[in-house]
Structure formats: C-alpha cells, structure tokens
Structure 1
Amino acid sequence: MEQVKEEMVRRAIEIGIVKDPQWMERLDEPVPMWVLLEMVMRLHDVLNPPHKPFD
C-alpha cells in the first residue's frame, strides 16, 4: 500500500498539483480536498479526453 501512496504523490508532484515535495514524508496525513479533486479531474481528462471522437 505504501508504494501506491508514494506513486500517487510522486505523480501529483510531477504534474504540479502538489508543490511541496515534503508530502512524500507525510503519506498517511489527509490531503486537502482540492488536491484530491484536482487529481480526479486530471485522471478523468486522461481516461476520457474531451476531444475524442465517438466512432
């Protein structure tokens, strides 16, 4: 489970959602809701691109 948390925080830092690299040391602390929502919205855009053709 720790690897999953580390991967999520690493990706959030890479794409610029999380600006503080010290989050890697605080994986079990709750994150702000805006961080979680931003990650969900970006994941949605990756999985369902807005300009993807239907056929």
Structure 2
Amino acid sequence: MEDWKRKIGESALTKGIINDPDWLEKLDDSMPVWAVLQLMLELLEKLEPQYTSYD
C-alpha cells in the first residue's frame, strides 16, 4: 500500500473518523454507497448543525 494512503488512514484514525485500526489494512477495499452517504451526512451535520433560534 502506498504511503499516502496509509497517512490518510492514520489521520482518519487519529481524528476519530474510523475507530478500528484494522481499517488501515483495508484502505484499498471498495466502500458501499450507503457508507459514503452516511459519512457525507455526518460531515454536513458538523458543518451545518441543526439549531433553533431564540428569537
């Protein structure tokens, strides 16, 4: 596996995007569409948190 892929995986592990070090051995595996969509939804939630105004 290329070093750049491993660095991305290690960064994801450090930041809590993945929580199992075994994923570092699976970085070349395909990812199901539902998993990609789930990641995108979680990212959107962090970037645009749902809140209500006090007004």
What TM-score range do you get, normalising by the shorter chain? Answer: 0.5 to 0.7
For normalisation by structure 1, the TM-score amounts to 0.60
Match of 2:36 in 1: 36
**SS of equivalent residue, structure 1 residue 13:** coil
**Consecutive aligned runs of 4 or more in structure 1 exceeding 3 Å deviation:** none
Alpha-carbon displacement from aligned partner over 1:25-53 (angstroms, at most 9, x marks no partner): 01011111111111100000001101165
Distance 1:52 1:44, change over 3 A: farther
Distance 1:49 1:36, change over 3 A: same
Q: Which has the larger radius of gyration?
A: 2
Matched residue count? 46
RMSD: 2.2
Percent identity reads 28
Give ranges in structure 1 of 5+ residues lacking alignment: 15-19
